Structure 1
Amino acid sequence: MFRSLLLSACLLVPFTASAETVTLRVLGQPSGSGLIAQQKEEPFFKALAETTGLDIKVEYLPIDVAGIPDTDGLRVLKSGLFDIVSIRGPQVSRDEPSVLGLDLVGLNTGFAVGREHVDAFMPYVDSRMQSAFNAKLAGMWPAGPQVLFCKPEVAGLADLKGLKVRVGDQSAANFVGQLGATGVSMPFGEVQQSLARGVVDCAITGPASANTGGWPEATTTVLPIALQLAMNGYAINLKSLEKFSADDQKKLETALTQLSSDIWSFSEELYVDAMNCNTGKEPCERGKPYKLTEAPVSDADLKAVSAAVTEISLPIWAKQCDAVATDCAETWRQTVGAKMGL
């Protein structure tokens, strides 16, 4: 009788399985890409369990250390090889063109306007990632204004004619092509030596990344006209996200969104400091001091970059994006285009 009662009582008690620690594999920015990766991204992920209170173990690996091309970020995310990927926007735009709509050449000439445009179009890019790559886009952030570093002395954009210029994406390649230059795509880690050896004459990146990569050692001039902001971001595999409860999913997504917001502010600080460092000015607190010549930005160059959106980058990109998703360009016009008054 006692055993029967005990068995009956046990059957009435709900069985609760002990939760297992979830391992999150994170594919990060290249190890040598700069202070954003070193001082913001990597520390964030290493402390993620503690700051969120989630029962997780994080394995963080820079993409170059993993030996994975940065153009494959969305592919490895979809495959489930990594749970979270720090996507490099210009590079993955070959697989998902809508990403490039966040940062067309001439669109984001500063941080404030860049935030507005990203906020307007990011929901659409997220929907594309969910349907095409089974991933949730949790945040976007800028590496910083993308400017020109050249080995030969240049006084403006017109001097790029006939030169080979390393570019980050097709939008930039189209732009320099209109100037009579040849756009060359290559991984960040190869640029410094390519500049030194004359494989390319100029290269486009942010001042902080250039400083970290030693580009001023192989160049003479910086032309500080912002062509793009080089948008990057964080995406989570949806199957990985489903391992968490609804509340814990919100905690994880909120943490990634906050990291992205923090990097926006940090990126702006880095830009000012790195421009000082690269050109031998003070204060130079975070980088190595160099003495590049800072070419003055002319009104003609500013007009050329501003006109690039409607004349070059948007028309070409719209065809590419609509070929993948027929509502892409129209959605851009209704969101970002409306903010620009197009």
Structure 2
Amino acid sequence: MQRSRRSLMQGLGARAAAAWAVLACGLPAWAAPPAPALPPAPPAVVAAPYKLRVVGGLAGINQYTRQEEPFWSKELKRLSGGRFDAEIVPFDRAGVPGSEMLRLLQLGVVPFGTTLMSSFTAQYPEYTAPDLAGLNPDIATLKSTLAAFRPYLEKSLRDQHGVEALAIYVYPAQVVFCKRPLRGLADLAGRRTRVSSSTQADFVGALGGVPVLTSFAQIVPSLTEGNTECAITGTMSGNTLGLATLTSHVHALPVTWGLAVFGANRAAWDSLPPELRMLLRRELPRLEAAIWQESERETAEGMACNRGDASCTSGRKGKMVTVPVSAEDERRRQEILASTVLPRWVQRCGVRCAQAWNQTIGPVRGLPVGTGK
């Protein structure tokens, strides 16, 4: 009788394992849905902790290595007393195009994932509103902009995509590095400048520059080969790339920042144990706050390292000239935002962008836009 029961249990386990293999076929390990429960283990066997599969931010960036990865791989287990655990992989090493992340979250293929808000540009440009080029000249302004837009973003992701937005992260400021002397933004006229988004391109074009859409990995080859002579990238990521020696001048104005949403497929979120949802609702805002603090610190340290200041402790010390934001630069920033960046963004997106802007950020910044009707 015991032998028959044991054979039955083994058979059930084998069939469940086979079903799991079929369901997961063709999907990366991190994307596969949780395995169906196997028959209960004998009382003497301790059950493994509940484990999440998470797709994080960009690999190699301090946001991931210092904040995201330690939280999911270590802190979650510690905070839950070993009941909950997680695996995390950066999205750019998970074989997932950034532009597809929202769709994969919506489908549940990725149950928990991080997506750059700039990746929404083609399909959902209204979600890029908080980080338009020239909109946020400092992190305090960025915080107020996001606070105005966040309720709209969270509701839209939940209602239209079935995605629960659990945190919003920020990368350090994106600034202009140049190989030749730079006195102010006006000197970008005629220069081929690396950009990473359409609104950055609008900003550079309005200054008379020539925007060149270039991936992060191609920044150095593009500068070295002479295809570009300036580049917009993060203060610290630019330093990591070696721009402190490849270029000579860096402008202090943040053109953009780089926001990312950490979200969950709504069904996957609702299926979590209630105590795990409570823990994440409590701890993810703390992770978000730590990432924002890290971004602000890295923005300042990146500039210090590029200059070669003694305060540089985690980057390469260069000898770059820092170009401060002049009154004329600030005037041009505001003018270009109102006359070029905003209207072209609305033109590309249409009425829904205008309505989203006028309901959220526009009143806070005193910048209403026409609906195009």
TM over 0.5: yes
1:8 aligns with none
Q: What is the CA-CA distance between 1:194 and the residue it aligns to? A: 1.9
Q: What is the CA-CA distance between 1:149 and the residue it aligns to? A: 0.8
1:43 aligns with 70
Q: What is the CA-CA distance between 1:314 and the residue it aligns to? A: 1.8
Q: What is the CA-CA distance between 1:246 and the residue it aligns to? A: 4.0
Contact 2:55/2:113 (<8 A) preserved: yes
Query: SS at the partner of 1:257?
Result: helix
In the superposition, the TM-score normalised over structure 2's length comes to: 0.79
Deviates more, 1:313-322 or 1:82-91: 313-322
Give ranges in structure 2 of 5+ residues lacking alignment: 1-39, 42-46, 368-373
Does 2:98 align with 1:70? Answer: yes
Q: 131, 135, 141: which is aligned to 2:159? A: 131
Deviations 1:162-221 (CA, angstroms, capped at 9, x unpaired): 222222221111111112223222322221222222222211122112122323232221
Does 2:194 align with 1:169? Answer: no
Does 2:272 align with 1:224? Answer: no
Query: SS at the partner of 1:175?
Result: helix
1:333 aligns with 358
Query: SS at the partner of 2:360?
Result: helix
Does 2:144 align with 1:116? Answer: yes
Q: What is the CA-CA distance between 1:20 and the residue it aligns to? A: 7.9
Query: SS at the partner of 1:47?
Result: helix
Identity %: 30
1:98 aligns with 126
- In 1, the alpha carbon distance for the partners of 2:158 and 2:211 equals 31
- Greater relative contact order (Cα < 8 A, sep 6+): 1
Q: What is the CA-CA distance between 1:147 and the residue it aligns to? A: 0.7
CA RMSD of the aligned region, Å?
2.3
- In 2, the alpha carbon distance for the partners of 1:276 and 1:112 equals 20
Contact 1:78/1:134 (<8 A) preserved: yes
Letter of the structure 2 residue corresponding to residue 39 of structure 1? R
Letter of the structure 2 residue corresponding to residue 276 of structure 1? A
Counterparts of 1:4-83 in structure 2 under 5 Å?
A: 21-32=49-60, 34-53=61-80, 55-83=83-111
Letter of the structure 2 residue corresponding to residue 197 of structure 1? E
Q: What is the CA-CA distance between 1:104 and the residue it aligns to? A: 1.4
Query: SS at the partner of 2:110?
Result: coil
- In 1, the alpha carbon distance for the partners of 2:127 and 2:288 equals 16
Q: What is the CA-CA distance between 1:21 and the residue it aligns to? A: 5.0
2:337 aligns with 309
Contact 1:189/1:213 (<8 A) preserved: no
CA spacing shift, 1:253–1:201, aligned 2, 3 Å: farther
Does 2:233 align with 1:205? Answer: yes
Query: SS at the partner of 2:53?
Result: strand
Give ranges in structure 1 of 5+ residues lacking alignment: 1-16
Contact 1:24/1:82 (<8 A) preserved: no
- In 2, the alpha carbon distance for the partners of 1:160 and 1:255 equals 43
Q: 244, 247, 272: which is aligned to 1:244? A: 272
In the superposition, the TM-score normalised over structure 1's length comes to: 0.86
Letter of the structure 2 residue corresponding to residue 43 of structure 1? P
- In 2, the alpha carbon distance for the partners of 1:124 and 1:25 equals 27
- In 2, the alpha carbon distance for the partners of 1:68 and 1:158 equals 38
2:283 aligns with 255
Deviations 1:20-79 (CA, angstroms, capped at 9, x unpaired): 8544222222223x3222211211121243244184442211222223333333233223
Q: What is the CA-CA distance between 1:117 and the residue it aligns to? A: 1.1
Deviations 1:83-106 (CA, angstroms, capped at 9, x unpaired): 222222223333321221111122
Letter of the structure 2 residue corresponding to residue 341 of structure 1? G
Contact 2:173/2:256 (<8 A) preserved: yes
- In 2, the alpha carbon distance for the partners of 1:224 and 1:262 equals 23
Deviates more, 1:20-29 or 1:300-309: 20-29
Counterparts of 1:259-278 in structure 2 under 5 Å?
A: 259-278=287-306
Structure 1 residue ranges, 4+ long, deviating more than 3 angstroms after superposition? 17-23, 54-57, 319-323
Q: What is the CA-CA distance between 1:151 and the residue it aligns to? A: 2.1
CA spacing shift, 1:67–1:199, aligned 2, 3 Å: farther
